[in-house]
Chain A
Amino acid sequence: AQKVTQAQTEISVVEKEDVTLDCVYETRDTTYYLFWYKQPPSGELVFLIRRNSFDEQNEISGRYSWNFQKSTSSFNFTITASQVVDSAVYFCALSGVRFGAGTRLTVKP
């Protein structure tokens, strides 16, 4: 069975703090894809990153970074020096079929 767990329901930080959003997944597939999406107040989910199961290299994009570890079945997302505009609900997904429950991030000025 496939499953995605985002244990953090809500996180609140002050601007410029670093914050990590956790994602743990379960799958029996050997080939799979992991995603992170951002849902701003406007409602639509916006794609952030895709990782395939054979690529464990961490990735950095500006203030965003992702840590993929197959050994712990985790795909965590870190925002460095958070900003108010980062406030949103963030979803982790497994191959587009299984989504986590989302983590609501609030960044306060």
Chain B
Amino acid sequence: EAGVTQFPSHSVIEKGQTVTLRCDPISGHDNLYWYRRVMGKEIKFLLHFVKESKQDESGMPNNRFLAERTGGTYSTLKVQPAELEDSGVYFCASSQYQLSEKLFFGSGTQLSVL
């Protein structure tokens, strides 16, 4: 069974540019989550999809971040325009049920904004 897949694994962009991160969850998992970790800090929750609907987006930093999950399958997280403080590792995770269950994580996307 394929795990959670994230693309790209690394992205280096300049301030002001746009970047789109993609996450393919485990097939059949209705719940999809995005997190971000800045070096040495905690893994910060960004948002939670149940199928194609946003269940909780309380962790999204600001309106430069846009997450979508078309058809309840893969998800994208777009940052436009990117700022220096957006640098970090963006993790995606999925689960069959909700946050009380264990999460399956992708390997993350290392985003560097220069």
Contact = CB atoms under 8 A, between A and B. Distances in A.
Interface of A: 4, 9, 33, 35, 37, 42-47, 50, 52, 91, 93, 95-102
Interface residues of B, number: 24
The B contact surface, by secondary structure, is: loop
Interface of B: 3-4, 33, 35, 40-45, 89, 91, 93, 95, 99-108
24 contacts: A4-B42, A37-B105, A42-B107, A43-B89, A43-B108, A44-B4, A44-B108, A45-B93, A45-B105, A47-B102, A47-B103, A50-B102, A52-B100, A95-B99, A96-B95, A96-B99, A96-B100, A98-B42, A99-B35, A99-B45, A100-B42, A101-B41, A101-B42, A102-B43
Given A43-B108, A96-B33, A91 B43 contact: yes
Among B43, B105, B107, which residue has the most Cβ atoms of chain A within 10 A? B43
Contact of A99 (B3, B42, B108): B42
Nearest to A91: B43
A101 B40 contact: yes
A57 to B, nearest CB: 18
